[in-house]
A and B are shown apart, each in its own frame.
Chain A
Amino acid sequence: MLLETTALTKRFGGVVAVNAIDLAVPEGQVFGIIGPNGAGKTTLINLISGHFRADGGAIRFAGADVTRLRPDQLARRGIARTFQSIRLFKGLSVLDNVLVGGFLRGSPIAPARALLQRFGLGARADALAGELAYGDQRRLEIARALASEPRLLILDEPAAGLNPTESAALRETLRALAADGITIILIEHDVRLVMGACERVAVLNFGRKLAEGTPAQIQGDPAVREAYLGADDA
């Protein structure tokens, strides 16, 4: 297992946002996390990436206990992520953003430019990140995350706000990344994307894991249907 969580819990005041969740993601897998709004998906991710401190449970990465580590320490171990709300360095150039992503590798320029090329942003290298179109910004965020050559890539709703064409392109990107051997955890609302790209899916609701299995198993699960997919089909 590359990433394991055991009974991971997070409370905010009286609300238990993440309630004793167990996850096990083997190396090289594309793992999806879905669930209605407020189910605790982003909180869970924030716990794994070190931005929130867990109130209970443990997180293991590559065999080591990383529960109490800070985000920059986790990055050093090979975890990279993107954010639901796109946290680009808006005032820095597109290239600079990727260079910062490669900070742990000494910000080498050639690999950064190569990444930009791969994501179709080569021509906009000197534009300010804040000037990019929305879809380009999402791609830049992923490029930036890849600059550190992570073992685990966490994508927090990368398809939010993308049109169908862009979503399809994203699906291809994910497949290519998976083929490269990067482990990916994907949080998404876009069910088609998740079902199409993921090998295994966990469904969250009210902070708990409702179900887990292959996309086919999840789609067939009546409890999941009721809690989530049913409402979606409407």
Chain B
Amino acid sequence: MDDLQQFLAAYQTTIGFVGLNAMLALSVWLTLYTGQLTLGNAAFAGIAAYSSALLTMKAGFPFPLALASGALLAALVSVPLGATVFRLRGVYLAIATLAFGEVVRVAILAIPLTGRGQGLVGIPPKTEVWHIFASLAVVAIACERLRRSNLGRAAAAIREDEIAAASHGIPVRRFKLAAFVLGALIAGWAGGLAAHFDFAIQPDEFGFARAVQILVFAVVGGIPNVLGPILGALLFTALPAVLQPLQEYRDIFQGAILVLVIVFLPRGLATLLELRRTIRLRRVGAQDVA
């Protein structure tokens, strides 16, 4: 038990980040489930991170309120964005959300309040690991419940064939927007937690590279159920820590693992859990991923 405690203490940060990344991965999963490929969730996390940090630092907000405000702000911003880009398909949507992310990053760099390029330092470290995992549990359970409901089935239908889905009465636009905004909300909550976990934040943490990283978690993890993105986040967050002795070649191993997993399991790691169904899905050419 003592060893376990030592282990946990030493890897506290990594464990925390696994949880945060898992939440971010789930936020992308939500949108992917409706067939939308978004690269904007890192930016939403950033918006919430900065705003919640500023609220605790400058306005004396209590921690939970700051978190909620940050997440709500991210969700609010996502509404006009989602409403304007929902009709874009695939790659175009990805690029539009990516462009949004870049605009946010540049905006952060330009506003003096955010500390610009130096980032924001001295954020009160209010986040504890259990906050992160409690949030993750709530999000994961809620998402899985949704997935198994009629709403989840409708979302899967939208992903498979939007036009057919609409002709059966499914309000496609509303669903896509809802998934988009919910994703932003979750990403925002994670962003707020992240800001108060690590004392400081920088604009680069919420840019293109991060957005791609989160996408990787979700896609490599797989879409069939919520376990996928969580697995993906776990694998790629824990991996660098595990590969620590191989510092120099870490990226190479990560890259190699990424390629191997995707090539052999294009529908993600989670499909290992449902191997037979995966083989049938592959044969049928289903739209498991956007």
Inter-subunit contact B172/A72 (CB<8 Å): yes
B160, B170, B280 pick with most chain A CB within 10 angstroms: B160
Give CA–CA (A80, B172) in the complex, Å: 16
Q: Produce 1/0 per residue, A78-96, CB < 8 A to B.
A: 0011010001111110001
Q: How far is the CB of A69 from chain B (nearest CB, A)?
A: 11
A51 within 8 A of B: yes
Kindly identify, within residues 149 to 163 of chain B, every residue whose CB is under 8 Å from any CB belonging to chain A.
Answer: 150, 153-154, 156-157, 160-161, 163
Do B161 and A89 touch across chains, with their CB atoms under 8 A apart? yes
Q: Which residue of B168, B171, B281 is within 8 Å of A144 (Cβ)?
A: B168
> CB within 8 A of A89: which of B156, B166, B285?
B156
- The answer to whether B154 touches A91 (Cβ under 8 A) is no
Interface centre among A89, A104, A106 (most CB of B within 10 A): A89
Q: Would you call A70 an interface residue if the criterion is a C-beta within 8 Å of the partner chain's C-beta atoms?
A: yes
Residue of B nearest to A97 (CB): B157
Tell whether, in the assembled complex, residue B287 and residue A91 are in contact, meaning their CB atoms are under 8 Å apart.
Answer: yes
Any B CB within 8 A of the CB of A49: yes
The answer to whether A89 touches B160, judged by C-beta atoms less than 8 angstroms apart, is yes
- Indicate if the CB atoms of A81 and B284 lie closer than 8 Å: no
Main secondary structure of the interface of A (DSSP, over half): mixed
Is there a chain A Cβ closer than 8 Å to B68's Cβ?
no
Min Cβ gap B89→A in Å is 16
Residues of A within 8 A of B156 (CB): 89, 91-92, 96
Asked, given contacts A92-B156, A96-B153, A107-B153, whether A131 binds B168 with beta carbons under 8 Å apart, the answer is no
Whether B107 is near chain A, meaning CB under 8 Å from some CB there, is no
We find that the number of chain A residues with CB closer than 8 angstroms to chain B is 33
Is there contact, CB below 8 Å, between B286 and A100?
no
Least distance between B275 CB and chain A CB atoms (Å):
15
A211 to B246, CA, bound (A): 79
- Shortest beta-carbon distance from A85 to chain B in Å: 10
Q: List 15 A-B contacts (CB under 8 A).
A: A71-B163, A83-B164, A87-B161, A89-B164, A90-B285, A90-B287, A99-B150, A99-B153, A100-B153, A100-B154, A100-B168, A100-B170, A103-B154, A104-B168, A128-B280
Give me 9 other A-B pairs in contact (C-beta within 8 A), A92-B157, A107-B150 excluded. A72-B172, A91-B281, A91-B288, A100-B168, A103-B150, A103-B154, A103-B157, A131-B284, A144-B168
Q: Which of B153, B163, B167, B169 has a CB less than 8 Å from the CB of A92?
A: B153
Give the interface size class of chain B: 20 to 34
Within B172-193, the residues touching A (CB, 8 Å) are 172
Q: Which of A90, A107, A144, A148 contacts B286 (CB 8 A)?
A: A90
B157 near A89 (CB under 8 angstroms)? yes
CA distance in complex: A174, B156 (Å): 30
The smallest beta-carbon distance between B245 and chain A, in angstroms, is: 42
How far does the alpha carbon of A123 sit from the alpha carbon of B283 in the complex, in Å? 21
A198 to chain B, nearest CB (A): 22
Looking at the complex, which one of A72, A89, A107 makes contact with B171 (CB distance below 8 Å)? Answer: A72
* Given the contacts A91-B287, A107-B153, A49 and B169 also touching, CB distance less than 8 Å: no
Select B168's contact among A51, A128, A148, beta carbons within 8 Å: A148
Report B260 CB to chain A, min CB distance, Å. 24
Which residues of chain B are near A71, meaning CB under 8 Å? Answer: 163, 166-167
Interface positions, chain B 235-260, Cβ under 8 Å from A, are: none
A100 / chain B contacts, CB cutoff of 8 Å:
153-154, 157, 165, 168, 170
Q: Which of B165, B167, B287 is most buried by chain A, counting CB atoms within 10 A of its CB?
A: B167
- Collect the chain A residues with CB atoms within 8 Å of residue B288's CB: 91
**A71-B166, A83-B164, A100-B168 in contact; A128/B154 too (CB < 8 A)?**
no
> Given the complex of chains A and B, what is the CA–CA distance between A92 and B171 in angstroms?
19
Is A181 engaged at the interface, CB distance under 8 Å to the other chain? no
| Contact flag A87-B169 (CB < 8 Å), given A92-B153, A100-B154, A131-B284 | no
Q: In the assembled complex, which residues on chain B have CB atoms less than 8 Å from the CB atom of A128?
A: 280-281, 284, 286
Q: How far is the CB of A59 from chain B (nearest CB, A)?
A: 15
Give the distance in Å from the alpha carbon of A168 to the alpha carbon of B231 in the complex.
51
Most B CB contacts (10 A, CB to CB) among A91, A103, A104 go to A91
Query: What sequence of 0s and 1s flags, for each residue 136-149 of chain A, a beta carbon within 8 Å of any chain B beta carbon?
Result: 00000000110110
**Which residues on A sit within 8 Å (CB–CB) of B150?**
99, 103, 106-107
